[in-house]
Amino acid sequence: MTAEEAHRLKRPVSGEDWSRGPADAVTLVEYLDFQCPVCQAAYPVIENVLESLAFRVRFVVRHFPVASIHPQAERAALAAEAAGRQERFWEMHRRLFEAKGHLEEDDLLRYAEEIGLDLDRFKRDMADEPLRAKIREQKMLGIRSGVNGTPTLYINGLRYDGLVNETDLSGAILAEPTEGRG
């Protein structure tokens, strides 16, 4: 791949992002769509990689709902963000992927209840315009960064075009110097 073909994150990872893992570790960013079957399949792979490389990797999630073919994807992204307002982003992230596409409005409410959210507040946040704007903005920045489908991964800010299996993904992460540049 030539330098001009390389795709980089247009906006570096910051405190605005949802992240897990040490800030000085290799940064793995995933642009995802909760209704995307390929993202659903990638979920356990990525979780296993994160578990086996704990302390070596920081994981960041950004939204890329492909609304034209996944009509529930934006609401699901919003559910994750609304859960984030109650410090339960990652619980909802897990619940939404474990749901394997069951993402009707009633489902989202049930998941919110299951992970112990204040439901009134959750419903209010699900209608919150700034949260929707955040998701739209993430998606546009994703497009600018070379996201062309989901999932798209970046390792230390550079798009990862390899296979999403544990061996290849772990190998690519371990090949990076450990100071986070993402």
In the complex, the smallest distance separating the C-beta of residue 52 from other proteins, rounded to whole angstroms, is: 29
Q: Which of 139, 151, 158, 170 binds other proteins (CB under 8 A)?
A: 139
Token pair recorded at residue 1: 């791949």
At which residue do the structure tokens 């940064």 appear? 27
Task: Decide whether 133 or 143 has the Cβ nearer to other proteins.
Answer: 143
At which residue do the structure tokens 């062309």 appear? 148
In the complex, the smallest distance separating the C-beta of residue 31 from other proteins, rounded to whole angstroms, is: 12
In the complex, the smallest distance separating the C-beta of residue 72 from other proteins, rounded to whole angstroms, is: 14
Sign (positive/negative) of CA torsion 120, 125, 126, 128? positive
Q: Which of 18, 67, 101, 181 binds other proteins (CB under 8 A)?
A: 67
26-32 vs 158-160, strand pairing mode = unpaired
At which residue do the structure tokens 């992460």 appear? 173
**Binding status of residue 151 toward other proteins by CB under 8 A:** no
Q: Which of 12, 105, 118, 148 binds other proteins (CB under 8 A)?
A: 148
**Binding status of residue 175 toward other proteins by CB under 8 A:** no
Distance CA 119, CA 2 (A): 50
Please say whether the beta carbons of 116 and 50 come within 8 A.
no
Residue 64 CA to its chain's centroid (Å): 8
In the complex, the smallest distance separating the C-beta of residue 140 from other proteins, rounded to whole angstroms, is: 7
**Binding status of residue 63 toward other proteins by CB under 8 A:** no
103-120 b/e (C-beta count within 10 Å ≥ 16 → b) = beeebbbebbeebebeee
**Binding status of residue 1 toward other proteins by CB under 8 A:** no
Task: Decide whether 121 or 144 has the Cβ nearer to other proteins.
Answer: 144
Q: Tell me the number of residues near other proteins by CB under 8 A.
A: 14
Which residues contribute to the site for other proteins (CB under 8 A)? 7, 66-69, 139-140, 143-149
